[in-house]
Amino acid sequence: MASDLTNPLLDALSASEAPILSNEAFPSHPSSSVKSALDRLGSRQMVEYETLEKEVIVLTSEGEEIATNGSHEAKVFAAVVAAIDGLKISDLPGLVGKDNAKVGQGNAFKRGWIKKDNDKLRAATESIVDETREHLLTVQKTRALGDAKVLADLKRRKLIALSKEIAYKISKGPKFAREFVKEETDLTPEMIADGSWKTTPLKPYNFNAKGAPTTAGALHPLNKVRQEFRNIFFEMGFEEMPTNRYVETGFWNFDALFVPQQHPARDLQDTFYIADPLKADPPHEDPLSDPHRLKATQPASQATKDKPVDYQKYWDNVHEVHEHGKFGSIGYRYPWNADESLRLVLRTHTTSISAYVLHKLAANPRPARFFSIDRVFRNEAVDATHLAEFHQIEGVIADFGLTLGGLIGFMEVFFAKMGIHQLRFKPAYNPYTEPSMEIFGYHEGLGKWVEIGNSGMFRPEMLESMGIPKNMRVYGWGLSLERPTMIKYGVSNIRELLGHKVDLNFIETNPAVRLEKE
């Protein structure tokens, strides 16, 4: 730590009638330690000061070298004098170094210090005055130089440089005293008991001081934005779906969603398959995924009357719908393979969870709103905006008599809650929804339309297989969590947000986030 100049500064001031200059009073102290003493004394009005900025001349490292050891030409002269019978020109670099020889020889000639005689250098004078060195010594001592021509020349030769020096003109303040009395920062029980609090100088409370940084854990930006979305869903009456199944069967991830077994999305290039075990059990009640919240929302009296969830019937229906068609659908008409359905995948979307939950709902249908926000996996080429894993925000609404217009209307309310007020819908295709719509939103900050989600009304093939009543319709939509997070935090490369390249400092210090909710 730099030495504390608080009391030395008060001493210097009391010894002088006139204001003092910090560079004269404390020439060997860095201006930063003068400044911290001034801040301390200034805040108590013990001193007043003015900041002076002065241009000074300093030596470059080459200038320092010459100030110590002499100029190039002086070195050449010394080498020539030392030779007994003249100095061969070709020997000079070996004696004084290449640079000295090159620059110094010319200058020594110009000054008439040496002469050439049959390829040999000889002294042309008895003694020399090394002016360059003298000038540099003057600069070193005074940080200034009177002769402008010499100054320009030394600057051109890069032996000196201009620099700024900060000095303070310091005078006594209204509360000047000879000694800086440390102010107490704590009022103790003892001070109160013995009455010394009345006379003890107390440090005024600094309301502008920043608190000490706490050593605590930090939420990842994705978690913060996720929480914002959860709040939007909760405030709109949604129940959260259990998303703990990263590994799903092809059944829940694809077949239940009417994705044919030959669909390109099921290819190895798009989906990660689990090698061991190769096969899972047919669909069944998953106690770990049991959406207890779904039950909790039902009155106890009704819960006792709950009809059981029939997985075998569902499995058979899905099989039939794919292979021959059912419920008014002509199906895909291909031989449906049960083993393909039982292969394990890393879920490619959270719609697998929606299928599980909707099927459960179908046993005891009621209007319901569900959402989930969790990780999904896709075998994608990784680039600045794509990773092989990301997070999906998904919503599902089941009710009687829903229409497409209602879905569009709902989207307008939903996205307005995160500050997106202009929406456009584009017809799209999902095997499990009809009609399907891509959702575009006008991003005020970015000044352009960005794709923000995918949506649709689940197909009757899918819903009726589950046992959802014919007149009940279900909306579904999904969006990525990464996209709004990247926009919110101004991150343009997703690898700065997720994965091994993430700067932990960014995670630790990033501010809380708010979606501009209505």
Interface residues with ligand PHE (CB under 6 A)? 349, 351, 394, 430, 433, 454-456, 476-478
Nearer to ligand PHE, 155 or 369 (CB): 369
Instruction: Using the structure block, give the residue that is written with the tokens 């999305």.
Output: 265
Helix axes 31-42, 6-14, angle to 10 degrees: 80
DSSP tag of 512:
P
CB 495 → ligand PHE: shortest distance, Å?
A: 22
Nearer to ligand PHE, 26 or 477 (CB): 477
**CA neighbours closer than 13 Å in the CB half-sphere of residue 43:** 13
Cα-atom radius of gyration of the chain, to the nearest Å? 41
Distance CA 441, CA 362 (A): 33
Nearer to ligand PHE, 476 or 484 (CB): 476
Distance of CA 243 to the CA centre of its chain: 28
CB 430 → ligand PHE: shortest distance, Å?
A: 5
**CA neighbours closer than 13 Å in the CB half-sphere of residue 387:** 20
Nearer to ligand PHE, 57 or 353 (CB): 353
How many C-beta atoms surround the C-beta of residue 333 within 10 A?
11
Q: Which residues of 173-196 are buried (b: 16+ CB within 10 A; e: fewer)?
A: beebeeebeeeeeeeeeebeeeee
CB 223 → ligand PHE: shortest distance, Å?
A: 21
Q: Is 149 exposed, middle or buried (0-12, 13-18, 19+ CB in 10 A)?
A: exposed
Distance CA 327, CA 400 (A): 18
Instruction: Using the structure block, give the residue that is written with the tokens 């989600």.
Output: 453
- The per-residue DSSP string of 262-315 comes to T-GGGSTTTSPBP-SSSB-PPS---GGG--HHHHHTS-HHHHHTPPPP-HHHHH
CB 478 → ligand PHE: shortest distance, Å?
A: 3
CB 510 → ligand PHE: shortest distance, Å?
A: 27
CB 253 → ligand PHE: shortest distance, Å?
A: 10
Nearer to ligand PHE, 249 or 430 (CB): 430
CB 463 → ligand PHE: shortest distance, Å?
A: 12
Q: Are 384 and 494 in contact (CB under 8 A)?
A: yes
Nearer to ligand PHE, 181 or 381 (CB): 381
Q: Is 394 helix (H, G, I), strand (E, B) or coil?
A: strand
At residue 202, φ and ψ (nearest 5 deg) are -110, 140
Q: Are 339 and 325 in contact (CB under 8 A)?
A: no
Distance CA 42, CA 23 (A): 18
Q: Is 395 helix (H, G, I), strand (E, B) or coil?
A: strand
CB 511 → ligand PHE: shortest distance, Å?
A: 30
Nearer to ligand PHE, 77 or 254 (CB): 254
Best CA proximity match to 2, nearest among 23, 32, 24: 32
Nearer to ligand PHE, 101 or 397 (CB): 397
Query: Which stretches within 297-443 are classed as H helix?
Result: 300-304, 311-323, 338-342, 351-363, 404-416
CB 271 → ligand PHE: shortest distance, Å?
A: 12
Residue 456 has which token pair? 């649709």
Residue 332 has which token pair? 């895909």
Nearer to ligand PHE, 258 or 336 (CB): 258
Nearer to ligand PHE, 430 or 465 (CB): 430
Nearer to ligand PHE, 314 or 370 (CB): 370
Residue 513 has which token pair? 């986030």
CB 290 → ligand PHE: shortest distance, Å?
A: 22
Nearer to ligand PHE, 343 or 349 (CB): 349
CB 392 → ligand PHE: shortest distance, Å?
A: 6
CB 269 → ligand PHE: shortest distance, Å?
A: 17
Nearer to ligand PHE, 8 or 260 (CB): 260
Write down the number of H helices and E strands in the chain.
21, 15
CB 366 → ligand PHE: shortest distance, Å?
A: 20
